[in-house]
Amino acid sequence: MSFLEIRHLSVTFGGLRAIEDLTFSVREGELLSLIGPNGAGKTTAFNAITGYLAFSSGEVVFQGKNLKGLKTNQVAALGLVRTFQKTSLFGGRTALQNVLIGLHMRARQTPLAIMLGLPYVGREERGLEIEAAKILAFVGLERRKAETAHALPYGEQRLLEVAIALAAKPKLLMLDEPVSGMNPSETASFMAKLAEIRALGVTVLLVEHDMKMVMGVSDRVVCLSQGRIIAEGSPAQIQRHPEVIKAYLGEKYARAHG
């Protein structure tokens, strides 16, 4: 049984077929990358899988559970956590508070216990703060924990996003263009960080444009174009695949170099 299975997924909105008959799977422990030119449907696939978008037909099964109709927070509770293409943070809160919010599912306090001020609530809070600091340290942001999120430089904001997602203890982490806008050195350290995340046992589904990164970290690659899968295989296979080249660079280039 595959970890995450997408079968014949189709998404239509406003008369537009955004994704057509998508079928692929993610194996436990691997890092699978979704690539494709802009508008290929990668983020739409993310949204459909995690419940942000309703899909018109097909199936999404995670660890044997059918995800159809689940609310986005229910999908997260199953262990599927995604990040967003556009920088998405709790801007007015500090970095530490951002990660604390990310720890939401790990806290067991009930509203009644909170209001009664039961001792275990305080203990749990202290534990959560320590955990949040650890996660911030893991992504290299421990010096920033008291800074307001929207005041952080861009690269650190993207790291904070990953920290928040990690706090939610994902089994499958879905990253949507995590290094877009980062400079080469930031990208390189992110690639190293990804390896550390995988070492923790997290499976990763990655959407990315940066080909160096994709080729460097992926076990397998799936290429989308205009809502359909046009190629699937190892990074090396994908790099040489004529359909992929055509999709990215156009017909002429493919014919010239094919």
- Using CA atoms, how far residue 158 sits from 92, 139, 147, 178, 218, in Å, is 16, 10, 14, 7, 20
Does the footprint of other proteins cover residue 53 (CB under 8 A)? no
Return d(Cα 232, Cα 220) in angstroms, integer.
7
Q: Which of residues 116-145 bind other proteins (CB under 8 A)?
A: 117, 121, 125
For residue 168, state whether it binds other proteins (rule: CB under 8 A). yes
Does 100 contact other proteins by CB under 8 A?
yes
**Tokens 């979704």 found at:** 34
> Cβ of residue 21: shortest distance to other proteins, in angstroms?
26
Q: Which of 53, 61, 101, 215 binds other proteins (CB under 8 A)?
A: 101
Residue 72 in the binding site for other proteins (CB under 8 A): yes
Tell me the H-state helices in the chain: 42-49, 72-77, 95-102, 111-116, 119-138, 154-167, 184-199, 211-217, 235-240, 242-249, 251-257
Binding mask 78-97 for other proteins (x = CB under 8 A): ---xxxx---xxxxxx---x
Q: Is 63 in the site for other proteins (CB under 8 A)?
A: no
Size of the site for other proteins (CB under 8 A): 35
Closest CA to 42 of 26, 18, 25: 18
Q: What are phi and psi of 71, to 5 degrees?
A: -75, 160
Nearer to other proteins by C-beta: 111 or 201? 111
165 binds other proteins (CB under 8 A): yes
Residue 228 phi/psi, 5-degree rounding, is -125, 155
DSSP 146-186: TSBGGGS-HHHHHHHHHHHHHHT--SEEEEESTTTT--HHH
Of 15, 69, 111, 258, the residue at the interface with other proteins (CB under 8 A) is: 111
Among the listed ranges 163-171, 184-192, 223-231, 239-247, the one in contact with other proteins (CB under 8 A) is: 163-171
Which residues here bind other proteins, judged by CB under 8 A? 50, 52, 71-73, 76-77, 81-84, 88-93, 97, 100-102, 104-105, 107, 109, 111, 114-115, 117, 121, 125, 164-165, 167-168
